[in-house]
Structure 1
């Protein structure tokens, strides 16, 4: 490593060190002067009572046998004062407070990648990936595998053991044995000498998915785009000629044709064809720039939301309404 790169690295480390020190000082100051990282809630009682017909309705005076539960509403900073806390009408929610701190800490862990790859970022990344994989697996089992496969092959067993509210009027549907066999064949991928068996269901799934997606892409990206590009150049309305609508139609037609000519390489781009292709380049660059700007704007919005969470919900520098 040369001296310039080492000096740059040391400079970046110093800058981020100063930022973290300032942040720690602000955090300590905020915790000492306010309720930083605390979530206060107000309990709300709900009760339903049954009438003579067995129908339930809300009641303010529950009695024995009624259905009762309690919900907790987060108290905004603007309404949370020391007098309100002393009155006992609000309580500190430890579960929400712990969740708030975990969310803030892991947000900082992810943002620490700006300094460079570090153990905190790796830990947060691994936890997010592992949690996401586990969540998707559980959702797949209980929302897909159990009701849509086991529930079709053994509806009575699934209703008794897992899903009491499942409709079993259709009975056993033996056609679902086919996907069950494909799933079993797919598991042979985990065996040392049975990998070739799993290729058949993989090929089947890829083929079905490709065909299904192709129809959607053709309808949405090809047919719909062609239909949207075929517009009248002379647009009239209730008041006669509509200038801006006609201008947009002409602009759309010119942009479409010039961009298509740019990708038409069978004719040398000279003369009229070359000038038209150059116009197409301008339209393409404007389109790509707008698309890139829209993407960046979305990412900045996500960053702004996380900063608002850190400085608002966590540090309470931004009062919540």
Structure 2
């Protein structure tokens, strides 16, 4: 038995353990779930050490002597005090700084998040697709205008926006389902082609 076949057998075992949850919760599924969380955490720690700690902390401070970086490093370390009951208040400072930076970045990103969408909606209506985009944009925006009751002709016009939103949400959900189905197909192909057929070839030639 080659190492590739052995590793595929191990992967197939844990794949079937995860699939066993479709029947009911069982120790095999719990073992696989906890192992996945543990391996993912260990991999994340190693990846963080190699791609974050070394290039952004150790090298700039201790090799390049950029001592000013000690300040943000200390603020980042304050996150770890979240696990201390007595010193958990220190973790509020990096959260405050991060929220301020997120708010500033959102304000600066208005061009990409709002103005570009407005510019795309302000184009000449030359075909049916642009007409549908225009009608959908106006009706969806009016749906969230709650200063006027959604009744009468205005209510019927707003209902068009509701249908546009339902179609958009349905398409997004369908795309998510199809992505999950593609993952399932990939695992089934792995079990059949890489494991079952390879094991049959190894045992019976």
> Under TM normalisation by the shorter chain, which class is it?
0.7 to 0.9
The equivalent position to 2:29 in structure 1, one of 106, 118, 121, is 121
User: Normalising to structure 2: TM-score of the pair?
Assistant: 0.87
1:210, distance to aligned residue in structure 2 (A) = 4.2
Q: 1:76-225 alignment to 2 at 5 Å?
A: 94-155=2-63, 171-213=64-106, 215-216=108-109, 218-225=110-117
Structure 1 residues 215, 131: closer, same or farther in 2, change over 3 A? farther
Deviations 1:218-268 (A, max 9, x none): 3443222222212111x3xxxxxxxxxx11111111111112222222122
Distance, in Å, in 1 between the alignment partners of 2:4 and 2:111 is 46
What SS does the corresponding residue of 1:315 show, helix, strand or coil?
A: helix
Structure 1 residues 289, 193: closer, same or farther in 2, change over 3 A? closer
Distance, in Å, in 1 between the alignment partners of 2:42 and 2:107 is 30
Q: Which residue of 2 aligns with 1:254?
A: 135
User: Normalising to structure 1: TM-score of the pair?
Assistant: 0.57
Q: Where does structure 1 lack aligned partners over 5 or more consecutive residues?
A: 1-91, 156-170, 236-245
Distance, in Å, in 2 between the alignment partners of 1:270 and 1:196 is 51
1:188, distance to aligned residue in structure 2 (A) = 3.4
Q: Where does structure 2 lack aligned partners over 5 or more consecutive residues?
A: 199-205
Distance, in Å, in 1 between the alignment partners of 2:164 and 2:76 is 48
Identify the structure with the greater strand proportion: 1
1:213, distance to aligned residue in structure 2 (A) = 4.9
Distance, in Å, in 1 between the alignment partners of 2:103 and 2:3 is 45
1:192, distance to aligned residue in structure 2 (A) = 4.3
Deviations 1:8-58 (A, max 9, x none): xxxxxxxxxxxxxxxxxxxxxxxxxxxxxxxxxxxxxxxxxxxxxxxxxxx
Distance, in Å, in 2 between the alignment partners of 1:230 and 1:316 is 57
More relative contact order in 1 or in 2 (CA 8 Å, sep 6+)? 2
What SS does the corresponding residue of 1:268 show, helix, strand or coil?
A: coil
Q: Are the aligned partners of 2:21 and 2:29 in contact in 1 as well (CA < 8 Å)?
A: yes
Q: Which residue of 2 aligns with 1:231?
A: 123
Q: CA RMSD in A?
A: 2.0
Structure 1 residues 269, 181: closer, same or farther in 2, change over 3 A? closer
Q: Are the aligned partners of 1:100 and 1:314 in contact in 2 as well (CA < 8 Å)?
A: yes
Distance, in Å, in 2 between the alignment partners of 1:191 and 1:274 is 54
Segments of 4+ in structure 1 off by > 4 A? none
The alignment of Structure 1 onto Structure 2 pairs a total of residues equal to 198
Distance, in Å, in 2 between the alignment partners of 1:291 and 1:187 is 37
